[in-house]
Amino acid sequence: MVEELSAQENSVVLMLLFATIFLTLVTLGLILFFYFSRKKVIQKEREKAELKIANQQKILETSIAIQELERKRIAQDLHDAISSKLNIVSLSTNVLLSDKKTTNKQKKTLEQILEITSTTLESSRKIAHDLLPPILDKFGLKAALEELFEDYCKNTQIDIQYDLEELEISKEKQLHLFRILQELVNNSIRHGKADELVVFLEENDNGYKLRYQDNGLGFDVEAVKKKAGIGMQNIMSRARILNGKFHYDSQIGKGSTFVIRSNYEKTH
C-alpha cells in the first residue's frame, strides 16, 4: 500500500515537473515570438523612416538642382534680353547727344536717360553675376570666393579674413560650396548683424574642411534643430550632397561657427 502511494506521488511529481517544463517552454516561446515580432516591426519602421529621409533628401536635391537651373536661365535672360537692349538704348542716347540739332533741354533729358540706363545696366549685370558667377566656371572656387568676399567688403561694412586653398573637386561641388558660403555671409549680415568674418578652406589627407565664423548676434541652436529656416535647410542639403559632416554652434551675443568636413576622390 505504501509502495502504491509512493508510486502515485512520484507520478504526480513527474507530471508537475513536465507541466512546469512545458509551461516554461511555451512561455519562453511566446517571449521569443513577441521579441522577434517586435524586432521585425521596429526594423520595418526603421526602413520606412530611412526611406522617408532618403525621399526627402532626393526632393531637396531635386529642388536645389531646379533652383540652379532657374538661376542660370534668369542670368542668361538678363544678359541676352535686358542687358543687350539696355546697351542699344545707351548707344542710341549717345548718338542723340552728339547730334548738333539736339537742344540743351533735350540733352538734359537724354543725359538723365543715359544715367538711368547705365545704372540699370550695372544692376542687371550684378544680379546676373550673383546668380551665376562666371569666374567660378573659368577660374575655380578659390578665385570666385575671393571675388565674392572682396565685393562684400567693398559694398558693406563687413571685414572678412580668409585663407583659402584650391580644391580638386567637380564644378558641381564647387558651386555647392560657393552657395553655402554665399548663404552664410548673407545670414551673418542680414540676421546676425556681424561686421567680422573668418573663413578657412583647407585640404587634409582625405578631403577638405570648411570653417566659417562670425561675430554676430548668434542664435538658439536648439530652436534651429527643431525648426530650421529655408536658408539653413539649403545649407544642410548641400552639405549632404557633398557627403559632408555639417556642424554648427552658436551662443546669443557671441557669434556663430559653422564647420563642414568632407572626403572626396581627387579628379585628374
Q: Rounded to an integer, what distance in angstroms lies between the CA atom of residue 234 and that of residue 68?
A: 12
| Mean pLDDT value across the chain | 81
Q: What is the DSSP letter of 157?
A: S
Question: Which residue carries 515537473 as its cell?
Answer: 17
| Whole-angstrom Cα Rg for the chain | 34
The size of the chain, in residues, is 268
- Per-residue confidence of the chain (268 residues) as pLDDT tens digits? 555 556 666 676 667 667 677 677 777 777 777 767 776 666 766 666 666 656 666 776 777 777 777 777 776 766 666 777 777 777 788 777 787 778 888 878 888 888 888 887 777 777 777 777 888 888 999 999 999 999 899 888 899 999 999 888 888 899 999 999 999 999 999 888 999 999 999 988 888 999 999 999 999 888 888 888 878 888 988 898 888 899 999 989 889 999 999 986 644 4
Q: In what side-by-side order are the strands of the sheet with 196-203?
A: 159-164, 196-203, 207-214, 256-263, 244-250
For residue 14, the model assigns a pLDDT of: 67
What are the backbone angles phi and psi of residue 215, rounded to the nearest 5°? -110, 30
Residues 6 or more apart whose Cβ sits within 8 Å of residue 182? 148
CB neighbourhood size of 111 (10 A): 12
For residue 56, the model assigns a pLDDT of: 66
**Burial of residue 30 (number of CB atoms within 10 Å: 0-12, 13-18, 19+):** exposed
CATH fold of the domain at 135-263? Heat Shock Protein 90 (3.30.565)
For residue 10, the model assigns a pLDDT of: 64
Q: Rounded to an integer, what distance in angstroms lies between the CA atom of residue 188 and that of residue 213?
A: 9
Q: Read out DSSP for 59-122? A: HHHHHHHHHHHHHHHHHHHIIIIIIHHHHHHHHHHHHHHH-TT--HHHHHHHHHHHHHHHHHHH
CB 226 within 8 A of CB 220: no
For residue 268, the model assigns a pLDDT of: 41
Q: Rounded to an integer, what distance in angstroms lies between the CA atom of residue 85 and that of residue 17?
A: 100
